[in-house]
């Protein structure tokens, strides 16, 4: 029988370890509910003349994570002595993010509701959505009926897609059977 050489990972003692860099945010809550924030042991101050309170917690974290694009470690110290630690993870960027319209004009909503979302001449294209609207796509796994207890058993097969317009409410369910 052929003997293979043992594979061992050898660490070169002359190499320096690479530290993991994660921004460290410490938020201290005083008895009045005011927040004191430090980032990597440096003060992070509110805008001039303002005091941060509990309601600012999410906005502070959004700012420090650059709208959830970078991860941070957060330690929160409450005035009663309790403490919690969490890691705020970065979100994966969307492939092609499209800005959603602020509020569609009522005429656009009415037009979208009146126009059926049917395939066009090109069977791969669907109509009935608002310009620039975010459209959700989901794959139907299978259509099943719930039993007398209101439960189902997940299936193994796949059916057509479900397409939902977030603003217009346009809903398309295509069967592929």
Give me the DSSP letters along 144-168: ----TTS-----S----EEEEETTT
Q: Which residue has the tokens 């109509």?
A: 127
In DSSP terms, 36 is beta-bridged to 28
Give dist(CA 79, CA 77) in Å, integer: 7
**What are the angstrom distances between the C-alpha of 41 and each of 23, 30, 31?**
10, 18, 22
CA 64 from centroid of its chain's CA atoms: 16
What is the three-class DSSP state of 45? coil
pLDDT digit string, tens, across residues 31-83: 999 999 999 999 999 988 899 998 898 889 888 888 778 888 999 999 999 99
Beta strands in the chain (DSSP E): 23-29, 35-39, 42-44, 72-77, 83-88, 135-139, 161-165, 171-173
pLDDT digit string, tens, across residues 133-150: 787 777 766 666 778 887
Q: Is the model's pLDDT at 158 over the cut of 60?
A: no
pTM of the entire predicted model: 0.44
């Amino acid at each position: 029988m052929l003997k293979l050489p043992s594979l061992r990972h050898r660490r070169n003692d002359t190499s320096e370890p690479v530290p993991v860099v994660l921004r460290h945010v410490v938020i201290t809550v005083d008895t009045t509910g005011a927040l004191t924030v430090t980032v990597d042991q440096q003060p992070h101050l509110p805008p001039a003349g303002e005091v941060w309170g509990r309601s600012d917690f999410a906005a502070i974290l959004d700012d420090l994570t650059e709208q959830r694009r970078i991860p941070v470690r957060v330690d929160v110290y409450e005035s009663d002595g309790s403490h919690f630690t969490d890691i705020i993870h970065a979100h994966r960027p969307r492939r092609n993010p499209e800005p959603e319209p602020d509020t569609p004009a009522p005429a656009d909503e009415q037009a979208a509701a009146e126009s059926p979302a049917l395939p066009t001449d090109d069977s791969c294209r669907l109509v009935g959505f608002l310009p620039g609207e975010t459209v959700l796509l989901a794959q139907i796994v299978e259509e099943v009926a719930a039993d007398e207890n209101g439960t189902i058993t997940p299936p193994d097969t796949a059916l057509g897609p479900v397409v939902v317009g977030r603003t217009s409410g346009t809903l398309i369910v295509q069967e592929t059977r």
